[in-house]
Every structure is written in structure tokens, then in C-alpha cells.
Amino acid sequence: MQKRILGNGNLEVSAIGLGCMGLSFGYGPATEKQEAIALLRAAYERGVTFFDTAQAYGPFANEELLGEALAPFRDQVVIATKFGWKFDLATERGIVGVDSSPEYIKEVTDASLKRLKVETIDLLYQHRVDPNVPMEDVAGAVKDLIQAGKVKHFGLSEAGCAAIRKAHAVQPVAALQSEYSLWWREPEAEILPTLAELGIGFVPFSPLGKGFLTGKIDDSTTFAATDFRNMVPRFTAENRKANQAVVDLIGEIARGKQATPAQIALAWVMAQTSVHKVEMVPIPGTTKLHRLEENLGATNVELTDDDLREIDSAVSKLDIQGERYPAAMQALINR
């Protein structure tokens, strides 16, 4: 497995990480515990050293899962988790708002350390920007945690350029995590130039378009009742049908490369490292071993400059339908 460095603090990770949310939360019923542990350990055995979780995934169940699964090789992996949501486990979703007050950050980070069974968190992200707490205070709290030896690196998730700059001035940011894929390229306008300027790495989540770019979803697909895609505008049956042209394009390129659509979508994201001068480490998620192996195979797919120009030209002519989040969720992004 190839390795990449995120940020300027020598945070080395595998070229593809594993987004672990779906094992516990978001895409229907949670994966059975032993099956999930087996998948996580299989990922490590195949060269994955970068595992992404969050307090919100469950809540808490995903951190506990990683703590148990990764314990045998803790020193050989990088575990990233996130703070920033406020919880009330009596509610259906458990999440009741954002809270990045310094006292709360330190309290919940101690809880994450216990669940993850670690003494230090390799990469700690703010999950969403809190409009009620100055970013300088957030970064200052994480700086205190780093100085205390509880955290190694600081990250942000779905933050806008102003927030990134304010945070980075107080405590260097190793990585920004945001959605990025062939059907969501909004970060290219302002976010990626800012990251390139500041030397911050980029961790694209949903690089497979929440599964749509794999070609395994169409307008007739039904999702489990607890699958959050049921409330995503881009995943209405009408919009899935309209957006099929993106999948058709990727499928055509995949056939020419003797690869799968998922591998082309991931290879395209990784190729953007040289295009935008930002280290990119996608974190596709899966609950299935054969999909994990398929995704990791993307590291063997080479897209030439001509391939990238052809893809860009074709995608630019497509009109992607549907917002990526419901309005209320979108309001918490890019503050």
C-alpha cells in the first residue's frame, strides 16, 4: 500500500483509508460486531493504516468498535475521530446540536480515549464548526490537548476557508475532511487552493458518492428505513434517474481501463493530488470484504493526464440533480 503525508506534521497514512461510519450508523442496521471486527482487521492486513470514526457514529458505538478491533496493532495504525456534536441519547438520533466549547472538547476527548482504548488520538477533527464558539478557542483547546499528550494532530471537517485560516493560525491543521467526488466538486473553487497554500492535507469522504458512483444503485433501488440517504435530495428516485449519466460515464471509462466504476472514481480522487497540489487520502466506507478489496484495487489504476482531461470535459457537460444534504444539515456546513 502506498503511503501519503497529511499536513506539515509528518502524519503518514495509507493512500486509501477506511471510513468506518457505515459499520455502526447511517446506512441501515449496524453490522454484526464480530463481522465488523473481522472487516477492520482485514483492512489492516491489506495495508490500510488510516481508520476514520467519530463520537457521533452510533453515537459512540463506532469508537468502541474500533477500540476493540484495532487494539492488536494499535501502534501500526492512525485513528481519526471527531468531536463537536452535543448528544442526548434519549432522542431518536442522539444528536441535539453542536458544542465546541473548550471545556466540552476536553471532556468528550477523554471519553473518546477510553472508548478507543488509546492513550493518544492520532487525528482529532472538529466535526462541524460551532457558530457560538470562536475558532481560535476551539483550536486553542485542541492545542492544549496536544501539549498534554492526548492528541497528536488537529483536523477540521466541512469547515470554510475563514474558519480554516483562523484555526491554522493557532494550531496547525493537518487535514480537512469534506465531501469530494466526481459528482461533488465544490471544494475545488476555494477550499483546495486554501489547503494548498497552507500545506493542509485533504481527506475526501463519500468519494464514491455515498455508493451511487459504484453503479450498484439506480432509480429502482430501495434503502433500509434507517438509511440516511432516504432524506438526501440527491437520492430521490427522480434525481437518481437523472444522475445516471454520471455512472454511465464512469462505467465507460472503467471498461477501457479494465477496472470497476468504483476504482475509477477513487483513482480520480487520488489523481487530484497532483492537479491541486494537495495530498488527498479518500476514505471510502464499506461493510463487505469484497468491496474493500475492490476499493483498495484503485491504487493500481493509473489515470493519465489525457484521461483526466477527458473525464473533466465529460463531467462538465453533466447537470447533477439534487442537493447533497437536506437544508437543515447543509446550514451547518462551510461556516
CA-to-CA separations, 81 to 21, 52, 114, in angstroms, rounded: 11, 6, 13
21-37: b or e for each residue (b if 16 or more CB lie within 10 Å)? bbbbbbbbebbeeeebb
* Helix 33-45 × helix 61-69 angle, to 10°: 50
H/E element, 144:
helix 135-147
> Which positions are annotated as active-site residues?
57
What distances in angstroms separate CA 146 from CA 8, 139, 151, 152, 177, one per listed residue? 15, 10, 5, 6, 19
**Dist CA 308 CA 231 (whole Å):** 32
Q: How many residues does the chain have?
A: 335
Grid coordinates representing 188? Answer: 475545488
CB-based burial label for 204 (10 Å; 0-12, 13-18, 19+): buried
Within its chain, how far is the Cα of 315 from the centroid? 22
What stretch of H or E contains 202? strand 201-205
Q: Dig out the grid coordinates for 69 from the structure.
A: 478491533
